[in-house]
Structure 1
Amino acid sequence: MTFEITLSDEVLALSARRSYIELNARARALQLLDDGTFHELLGPFDRVESPWLPMQGIVTQSDDGCVVAKGKIDGQPAVVIAMEGKFQGGSIGEVCGMKMAEAFRLARLDNEKGIPTRAVLSLESGGVRLQEANMGELVIAEIYAEMVALRKHTPLIVVITGPTGCFGGMSLAAGLASYVVMTRQARLSMNGPEVIELEAGKDEFVAADKPFVWSVNGGAQRFATDFADVLLEDDADAVTQAVTELFRKGQPAQLRTDKYELFIKRLKFLDPAKQWVAEDIRNAWKAVAK
């Protein structure tokens, strides 16, 4: 007996995709840079590790969960910074934070010298590393300052795809970017679901309710409410193409941080006396378009 199975075009297309979400930080940097141009700075063999984690009985990682790679994107000089969400939840400590800040600084200096250098930040981060709290807070301030300085010279693109998402201090870094690229599986929020539930209780937020969580801070919601510029399926080549096209597009007409008056108007449109749901936010954003 012979069985013949016919797959739909959608299934075939899905099977042909390469997941970006499943790539580790180093593979993500390789994916975003042109073939043959990847050169890692302060890689694992340089053994620049956190000095604070061993004091607390925590095993370190030789790149401290942050990959910095220099190369080219669409033939132009570029730096890609990718956070490894599997190490300490992608948290920002002294070493990985300084790698990030210094990479942005060097890219800025290149641009100031007439070498147009692009920058991409692939984020998977829960925010500041609690074991290095003060160091993490200080270095995140340096990251913000360098991002603001660099984006004057070149579009600065943040990519958030999941599975960790982007929370805490690095969610503010995403807000400083020229463009934000997200997948439907990604999440972006100042506070993570578990933190909100812990502090405010389950009447406010149920972290285990996945459909609810993604309706609030998932990629589709963030795209619909102007916190992301591009929404993609989980496809490595599609992410690379989106980044390339945004660089070709050039600087945005208006940075997200310059739209603060619009965001304030939208917040005032919402009634603070009632519990908002995701649809309320979308409606407010549509009602106050400019």
Structure 2
Amino acid sequence: MSTMTTPAAPALTLRDSFIELPARERARALLDDGTFRELLGPFDRIESPWLSLQGIVCQADDGAVIARGTIDGKPAVIAAIESAFQGGSIGEVSGSKIAAALELALRDCERGRIVQPVVLFETGGVRLQEANLGLAVIAEIQAAIVALRRHVPVVGVIAGMVGCFGGMSLAAGLCSYLIATKQGRLGMNGPEVIEQEAGIEELDASDRRRVWQMIGGEQRVATGLADALVDDDAHAIRAAIRDAFARGVPTAHRSEQVSVYLERLARIDPANVSPETMREVFEQDSAAAPRKEQ
């Protein structure tokens, strides 16, 4: 009599989706069990003073979660942006929380107490209702990343589904290491903005396949604008973050390689830009100039 064995469950069913988690739970999933401690949480009610004046309901944490704890027993701080509130846009309060968290980590590092910083990007960029204030605080975030990365790697994660755009895409580019999923997107301008300003002939924002081919996580890793492509799995992302910190501070950050990227830009034909041609430009010299310490 033959017996029938039950096939093993597909690996997909064993994953713990990171994308489906709200910002607070994303931060909790990356920290060691029992170490999550939120700073300026909802009960502190640090809200935007500007949104209510424009008839917009505020959120008690202004869409930014700051958590301290440990990763593999080492002190860490995570700044997680909540995409469900105003599309993850950065305003005066949410941006100040992120900048202050990084600045406090910098102060600790300068005193010899290394704190591992992680930024979970999920944002369309500056909050239009707080435009100038939001832009100013994004500049503070960028300055804090540049100062902090001299002491310890600053690790960014773009998981999805909003992506990372606007001024915060520049902040992501300043990170020592950038981790992305296939669902994540990275660009200065979002597809809808490009279509609105340049026309549908330039980019059809409804063509999701095309959009992800151009600015999705897989393409950004293939063209050297992100460092690691991971599955939508909390454990995989945590492992990638752990690996990034283990690699130490890069010998040269992306933003310090101006001549390299200018040379690449010079080899791009604006009339023939495609995912394939962009990869070709990177592949021609990626082996000749490794960026990171191994």
Give the structure-2-normalised TM-score: 0.94
For residue 276 of structure 2, what is the amino acid of its counterpart? Answer: E
User: Aligned partners of 2:40 and 2:107: how far apart in 1?
Assistant: 19
User: Aligned partners of 1:286 and 1:260: how far apart in 2?
Assistant: 18
Check whether the contact 1:151–1:178 (CA below 8 A) recurs between aligned residues.
yes
CA displacement at 1:12 relative to structure 2: 2.1
CA displacement at 1:249 relative to structure 2: 1.7
Q: Deviations over 1:169-228 (max 9, x none)?
A: 110000000000000110000000000000000100000000100000000100000011
Segments of 5+ residues of structure 2 without an aligned counterpart are 290-294
Could you tell me which of 178, 202, 217 is aligned with 1:204? 202
Check if 1:125 corresponds to 2:123: yes
Check whether the contact 1:266–1:288 (CA below 8 A) recurs between aligned residues.
no
Could you tell me which of 260, 284, 289 is aligned with 1:287? 284
User: Aligned partners of 2:66 and 2:73: how far apart in 1?
Assistant: 18
Question: Which residue pairs with 1:154 in the alignment?
Answer: 152
Question: Which residue pairs with 1:234 in the alignment?
Answer: 232
CA displacement at 1:278 relative to structure 2: 0.9
Alignment RMSD (CA, Å): 1.2
For residue 275 of structure 2, what is the amino acid of its counterpart? Answer: A
CA displacement at 1:248 relative to structure 2: 1.5
Question: Which residue pairs with 1:173 in the alignment?
Answer: 171
User: Aligned partners of 1:56 and 1:86: how far apart in 2?
Assistant: 19
Could you tell me which of 260, 263, 271 is aligned with 1:262? 260
Give the structure-1-normalised TM-score: 0.96
Question: Which residue pairs with 2:292 in the alignment?
Answer: none
> How do 1:74-93 residues align onto structure 2 when only pairs under 5 Å count?
74-93=72-91
For residue 80 of structure 1, give the secondary structure of its aligned residue in structure 2: strand
Question: Which residue pairs with 1:58 in the alignment?
Answer: 56
User: Aligned partners of 1:12 and 1:202: how far apart in 2?
Assistant: 40
Check whether the contact 1:265–1:288 (CA below 8 A) recurs between aligned residues.
no
For residue 20 of structure 1, give the secondary structure of its aligned residue in structure 2: coil
For residue 204 of structure 1, what is the amino acid of its counterpart? Answer: E
For residue 176 of structure 1, what is the amino acid of its counterpart? Answer: L
User: Aligned partners of 1:271 and 1:216: how far apart in 2?
Assistant: 15
Check whether the contact 1:127–1:169 (CA below 8 A) recurs between aligned residues.
yes
User: Aligned partners of 2:87 and 2:243: how far apart in 1?
Assistant: 30
Question: Which residue pairs with 2:65 in the alignment?
Answer: 67
CA displacement at 1:287 relative to structure 2: 2.2
For residue 202 of structure 1, give the secondary structure of its aligned residue in structure 2: coil
User: Aligned partners of 1:74 and 1:216: how far apart in 2?
Assistant: 35
For residue 142 of structure 1, what is the amino acid of its counterpart? Answer: E
User: Aligned partners of 2:40 and 2:278: how far apart in 1?
Assistant: 42
For residue 52 of structure 1, give the secondary structure of its aligned residue in structure 2: coil
CA displacement at 1:154 relative to structure 2: 0.5
Question: Which residue pairs with 2:184 in the alignment?
Answer: 186
Could you tell me which of 218, 222, 226 is aligned with 2:220? 222
CA displacement at 1:91 relative to structure 2: 0.2
CA displacement at 1:277 relative to structure 2: 0.9
For residue 37 of structure 1, what is the amino acid of its counterpart? Answer: T
| Structure 1 ranges of 4+ moved more than 2 A | 4-7, 287-290
